[in-house]
Structure 1
Amino acid sequence: MTAQTDIISATVLIVPGLREHVADHWQTLLARKLPRVRSVAPLEHDKLSCAERVAAIDRALASIDGPVIVVAHSAGVMMLAHWASRCKSRAIHGALLAAPADLETPMPPGYPTIDALDAHGWLPVPRDVLPFPSIVAGSSNDPLTGLDRAREFARSWGSRFVELGDVGHLNPASGHGEWPMAEEFISQLATPR
């Protein structure tokens, strides 16, 4: 079985960050290209609630039959870490964790404060080894997570770490739309263990 066949047989679950689905974001563009894909539905209420975000991931996973590869970005990575520490409802084949947002360190203006994140259940960020293979892809100039912190998260979670270079937060604001490496990482995760 080839990696491409494995991707086709697995459903990719897109877990966006707090800003949810952005039309020109690489996750949205990737979702249009893949044969089997679902996305975590945007929240109508309690948008900053970690518990609601975790429940949304759990609902999305429950709606999928067969193997699942999760593709999370930014705070979506932390949502998945919280899901993995709280829910044991579903096995995941693997996860791509791109540009994790360090919610324990003050972020730039326009993002939630540490106090707001703490009040909504985000802190502390779980550091348990994830119960599935994962790849953390970090940027050397991400304004939301220093490279050393991204490496630390990867070590804690038992993830393989890949340094992407100077790609900012790997989002449209940092000049990124399509991200072909995502498909390469998904192929690696889809390869039978």
Structure 2
Amino acid sequence: MRRHAIHYLILPGWQGSPAEHWQSHWQRSLPDASRVEQADWLNPQREAWVARLEQHIAAASGQLILVAHSLGCVTLAHWAAQAAPALLAKVRGALLVAPADVERPGCPQELQNFAPMPRQSLPFPSLLVGSDNDSAATPERALQLARQWGAEPVVLSGVGHINVKSGHGQWEQGFAYLYRLQTLIEQQARRRA
């Protein structure tokens, strides 16, 4: 895979990703990256968020790797469940970090319109990174989502929601998971060749 031909599209979750968030750091660090900017970060609406993601994918001139966090993971899964094959074909793979379980007890009211969680397998290689102490999704739920979405699962110990609050500013070690995703993409491409 020619890495320079790939565009990294970053999908923040609820309340966006501030400048000190690892997604913002990655946007500045990766060779060709941009983010999906939502109209309303505080009161997310599923249809609007999915439509904005679709606009970004449709406008992309080349192949994409999606880098999603929290509610961004759920948005991605909702988009993939209803997207046209031509748009799905533009996505080489997805890194899903700390997906938010919008069906969990005590889920914030603002996120509940994203339920039910999509259960369809993603039609491209994906890697899901969860945590054993993430308040947004239990490790069991993260593993269940990985199975349903057809993602390779990784559950880290003691890393919380993998955001600024849990001490993950630049999250340099996360690049190892991005590299693992790229390896999965290359393996699938070889199998199809």
Same fold (TM over 0.5): yes
Opposite residue 31 of structure 2, the aligned amino acid is P
Q: For each residue in 1:90-133, what CA deviation from the matched residue of structure 2 results, as whole angstroms up to 9, or x when unmatched?
A: 121000000011110034xxx622xx544x3x111001010110
1:123 corresponds to which residue? 115
Q: Kindly tell me: are residues 32 and 149 of structure 1, through their superposed partners in 2, closer, same or farther at Cα, counting changes over 3 Å?
A: same
Task: Give the % identical residues.
Answer: 40
What is the CA distance between 1:186 and its match in structure 2? 2.2
Deviates more, 1:44-53 or 1:166-175: 44-53
Q: Which of 75, 87, 107 is residue 71 of structure 2 equivalent to?
A: 75
> Take 1:53 and 1:175, find their aligned partners in 2: how far apart are those partners?
27
Deviates more, 1:151-160 or 1:41-50: 41-50
SS in 1 for 2:108: coil
> Taking structure 2 as the reference length, what is the TM-score of the superposition?
0.87
What is the CA distance between 1:45 and its match in structure 2? 8.6
Opposite residue 156 of structure 1, the aligned amino acid is Q
What is the CA distance between 1:46 and its match in structure 2? 8.8
Unaligned runs of 5+ in 2: none
Unaligned runs of 5+ in 1: none
SS in 1 for 2:165: helix
SS in 2 for 1:171: coil
> Take 1:12 and 1:101, find their aligned partners in 2: how far apart are those partners?
21
1:181 corresponds to which residue? 173
- Where do 1:85-124 residues align within 5 Å? 85-88=81-84, 89-90=86-87, 91=89, 92-107=91-106, 112-113=108-109, 116-118=110-112, 120=113, 122-124=114-116
Opposite residue 25 of structure 1, the aligned amino acid is H
> Take 2:97 and 2:170, find their aligned partners in 1: how far apart are those partners?
14
Matched pairs, number:
182
CA RMSD after TM alignment: 1.8
SS in 2 for 1:173: coil
1:147 corresponds to which residue? 139
Is the 2:14–2:42 contact (alpha carbons within 8 Å) kept by the matching residues of 1? no
Segments of 4+ moved more than 6 angstroms: none
> Take 2:50 and 2:5, find their aligned partners in 1: how far apart are those partners?
25
What is the CA distance between 1:187 and its match in structure 2? 2.4
- The one of the two structures with greater contact order (alpha-carbon pairs below 8 A, sep at least 6) is 1
> Take 1:33 and 1:169, find their aligned partners in 2: how far apart are those partners?
22
Deviates more, 1:63-72 or 1:175-184: 175-184
